[in-house]
Amino acid sequence: MASAVTTAPPAPVQRPGYGQLLRTPGAWTFLLPGFAARQPFAMLTISIVLLVGHTTGSYGTAGAVAAVTGVSMALFAPQSGKLADRFGQSAVLVPGVLIHAASGALLTALALAHAPLWALFAAAVPTGASVPQIGPMVRTRWAAMLDRTPLMSTAAAFESVTDELTFVIGPVLATALCTGVHPASGLVAEAALTLAGGLLFAAQRRTAPPANRLARRGLREPHTSALAVPGIRVLAAAFLGIGSVFGGMQVSLTAFTQEIGQPGMNGLLYGIFAAGNMLAGVACGAIAWRRPVRRRLLIAYGALALACSVLWAAHSPLLLGGLGLLAGLCIAPALITGYTLVETLVPPTARTEAFTWLTGSVALGQAAAVTAAGQLADGFGASAGFTVPLAGTALALLTVVALRGRLVPRSAGDLGGPVAGRVAGRVAARGARGVDHRMPVAVD
């Protein structure tokens, strides 16, 4: 016979704020160098487009070189994340930033020397493959420090704001350097920031999550990838669409400002688009959400696809700025909910890899969009380039809606193979004894 249990009224929901998050011990030691090291991610594509576009006179060629960089990053980023989970972040970052700085310098020199396209492609591959995955690494540090606490959602929003602040500063800085100083100065600054910021971030070992203890103890499991989790594949498709917005906007805005004879407005218009993204990210982190995360993703992504559906019709800088702001406001909620879902879909030992799959999907979508928008802008004008974000977000939305059932969190034993399942079992056993017992248990 079930016993009657008197339940106290639920305590009011307290909204975790950014102030509480930033008071987390050790947070600033990795946030500041991490912010500097993230700038290159936002500067790389636009710097390549502006430099190669200047030396070749073709947005299609510039987009193709930038696309090779993006595809290379998308393919290698998850492997970088897997290695960081296994051996630690510093072991991956230090050689990575050195290779990136050297290959970026080589790409710059080849472009200025009017090297053939195949040579630019050859230099673009290591440039993209070695882009440091600072964003995923910062998110993994937050996840390790705030595992399954209310502040984790705030951290996801804060990271989105930080990402978008880099997309406000990075493209504007790169455009100003390339148009006001020298066409190659954007890539030079990108390489310098990567080297300095990446090495400083790697030096913050105290806040770094530990390398996979299972690997250190010699326990081996089959080669499983975070991408084997169905929900991560759905999120990767969603982030491909988000990447199509970034890539399509970068090239199409560049072509648009060239068409109207005001190339200096490129950075301003893209900055307005990215500012909308940043403002929405700030708001998302300040709201105590009651809707489930999966439902919020569907709503946010539907709004993003709708906002992108009218970009092609704008023929004045004022109208395009307003529509770009609207599109930017819709990106942050989709990004934040996607990254928040990762915590419930994969085990801690695969988080960096999972985050890099999503970051790589953004890069891959951006690469495809840069290529497509560049070809369309060359052949039919800037307005045609704006159809790329529309197509990318619409296709991704259809995928997310059709496969939304795969975004339901799995049990711990299903997330990381047999070894992770055994570890999850030991954690659950400790929770039953009162250690780390955070989840409510039904009482009959």
Q: What is the pLDDT of residues 211-227, one digit of tens each?
A: 665 444 444 444 467 77
pTM over 0.75? The answer is no
Tokens of 214: 């299972």
Q: What is the pLDDT of residues 131-166, one digit of tens each?
A: 888 888 888 888 778 766 667 777 877 877 787 677
pLDDT for res 109: 94
Q: What is the mean pLDDT of residues 12-22?
A: 66
What does the alpha-carbon distance between residue 200 and residue 28 come to, in Å, rounded to a whole number? 13
pLDDT for res 124: 93
Residue 34, Cα to own-chain centre: how many angstroms? 14
Element spanning 16, H or E: none
Tell me what percent of the residues of the chain surpass a pLDDT of 70: 82
Q: What share of the chain is helix, strand, coil (3-state, %, to 5)?
A: 80, 0, 20
The secondary structure of residue 425, as a DSSP letter, is H
Tell me what percent of the residues of the chain surpass a pLDDT of 90: 16
Confidence of residue 394 (pLDDT cuts 50, 70, 90): very high
Confidence of residue 285 (pLDDT cuts 50, 70, 90): low
CB 280 within 8 A of CB 383: no
Domains delineated in the chain: 30-210+226-432 (1.20.1250.20)
Confidence of residue 104 (pLDDT cuts 50, 70, 90): very high
What does the alpha-carbon distance between residue 147 and residue 337 come to, in Å, rounded to a whole number? 16
Torsions phi, psi for 78 (to 5 deg): -60, -35
What does the alpha-carbon distance between residue 326 and residue 321 come to, in Å, rounded to a whole number? 9
Kindly report the CA angle at 31 between 329 and 209, in degrees rounded to 5? Answer: 110
431 pLDDT above the threshold of 60: no
Q: What is the pLDDT of residues 308-366, one digit of tens each?
A: 988 887 788 888 888 888 988 888 888 888 887 887 787 767 777 788 888 778 878 88
What does the alpha-carbon distance between residue 360 and residue 354 come to, in Å, rounded to a whole number? 10
Compute the residue count for the chain: 444
